[in-house]
């Protein structure tokens, strides 16, 4: 609970770093994303590839968590996970997702809405074998999103897979791989004074092109 002497209203900040005009945008949302991502890196934002991933059950019950972006190109935004995890199970039921990149130090966020599909097995294998060995092993040791008896159970499972694959190439678990989010909209949000923020959204049209729209804050 927030301490009685603290007021959340006192945390209010007016945003004044920059504005965002239509003329400043690339015609392609992926190029615009790359530009902002590079600026987030240059500003030494902590894990600029961290993004909130929102999924939902078939009944519409949402869930959210932070995952890491591991690739982006004209086809979409890529992340990797355990297919048996909660997000994996929900994506089997409904492929519709939202991503949020919160670059708070720059008073910016990017919001992506679209559909997620599994990447090819070859793509998952290539990324899996680029990971540090402990991360490869933990993909086998952790039954992600399942209830476990305690930390000791996880540590013992990790020791077991370390023994099992000692001196070997660790295979990719059948329950592990990537998803690519193909966007239908990509919104670039820039904080402005008096909460009159700039919100410019790319929306994909039926011919595959993009239209840029300004949204009221």
Q: Is residue 196 situated within a structural domain?
A: yes
Looking at residue 192, its pLDDT comes to: 95
CATH number of residue 109's parent domain: 2.30.110.10
Q: Is residue 79 situated within a structural domain?
A: yes
Binding residues for substrate: 12-15, 70, 127, 131, 135, 195-197
Looking at residue 1, its pLDDT comes to: 53
Looking at residue 96, its pLDDT comes to: 97
Range of the domain at 53: 13-129+172-215
Residues making up the chain, counted from first to last: 217
Binding residues: 12-15, 65-70, 80-81, 86-87, 109, 127, 131, 135, 144-145, 189, 195-197, 199
Binding residues for FMN: 65-70, 80-81, 86-87, 109, 144-145, 189, 199
Looking at residue 3, its pLDDT comes to: 56
Looking at residue 74, its pLDDT comes to: 95
Total domains present in the chain: 1
Q: Is residue 112 situated within a structural domain?
A: yes
- Distance, in Å, from the CA atom of 33 to the CA atom of 47, rounded to the nearest integer, reads 15
Q: Is residue 120 situated within a structural domain?
A: yes
Looking at residue 5, its pLDDT comes to: 58
Partners of 188 in the β-ladder? 110, 200
Q: Which of 151, 195, 204, 214 is catalytic?
A: 195
- Distance, in Å, from the CA atom of 121 to the CA atom of 135, rounded to the nearest integer, reads 18
Looking at residue 6, its pLDDT comes to: 64
| Known active-site residue 58 | no
| DSSP at 169 | P
Note the Cα 174 to chain centre separation in Å. 22
Each of the 217 residues of the chain gets a pLDDT tens digit; together they read 555 556 877 777 888 789 999 999 999 999 999 999 999 999 999 999 999 999 999 999 999 999 999 999 999 999 999 999 999 999 999 999 999 999 999 999 999 999 999 999 999 999 999 999 999 999 999 988 888 899 999 999 999 999 999 999 999 999 999 999 999 999 999 999 999 999 999 999 999 999 999 999 9
One DSSP character per residue, 19-71 reads ---GGGS-SSHHHHHHHHHHHHHHTT-SSTTEEEEEEE-TT--EEEEEEE--E
Q: Give yes or no for a contact between 174 and 155, defined as CB atoms under 8 angstroms apart.
A: no
Looking at residue 138, its pLDDT comes to: 94
Q: Is residue 25 situated within a structural domain?
A: yes
Burial class of 47 by CB neighbour count within 10 A (0 to 12, 13 to 18, 19+):
exposed
One DSSP character per residue, 114-140 reads EEEEEPPHHHHHHHHTTS-HHHHHHHH
Answering whether pTM is above 0.75, one says yes
Describe the crossing of helices 151-164 and 133-141 by its angle, rounded to 10 degrees: 120
Q: Is residue 105 situated within a structural domain?
A: yes
Quick one: how many helices (H) and strands (E) in the chain? Answer: 5, 9
């Amino acid at each position: 609970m927030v301490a009685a002497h603290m007021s959340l209203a006192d945390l209010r900040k007016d945003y004044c770093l920059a504005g965002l005009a239509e003329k400043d945008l690339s015609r392609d949302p992926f190029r615009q994303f790359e530009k902002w991502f590079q600026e987030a890196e240059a500003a030494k934002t902590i894990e600029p590839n961290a993004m909130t991933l929102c999924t939902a059950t078939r009944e519409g019950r949402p869930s959210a968590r932070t995952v890491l972006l591991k690739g982006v190109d004209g086809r979409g935004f890529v992340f990797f996970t355990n297919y048996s995890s909660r997000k994996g199970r929900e994506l089997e039921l409904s492929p519709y997702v939202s991503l949020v990149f919160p670059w708070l130090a720059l008073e910016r966020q990017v919001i992506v809405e679209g559909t997620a599909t599994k990447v090819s097995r070859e793509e998952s294998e290539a990324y899996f074998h680029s990971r540090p060995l402990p991360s490869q092993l933990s993909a086998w040791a952790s039954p992600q999103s399942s209830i476990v008896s305690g930390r000791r159970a996880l540590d013992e499972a990790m020791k077991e897979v370390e023994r099992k694959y000692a001196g070997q190439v660790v295979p990719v678990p059948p329950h592990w791989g990537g998803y690519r989010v193909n966007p239908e909209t990509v919104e670039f949000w820039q904080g402005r004074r008096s909460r009159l923020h700039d919100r410019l959204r790319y929306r994909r049209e039926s011919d595959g092109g993009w239209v840029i729209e300004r949204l009221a804050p």
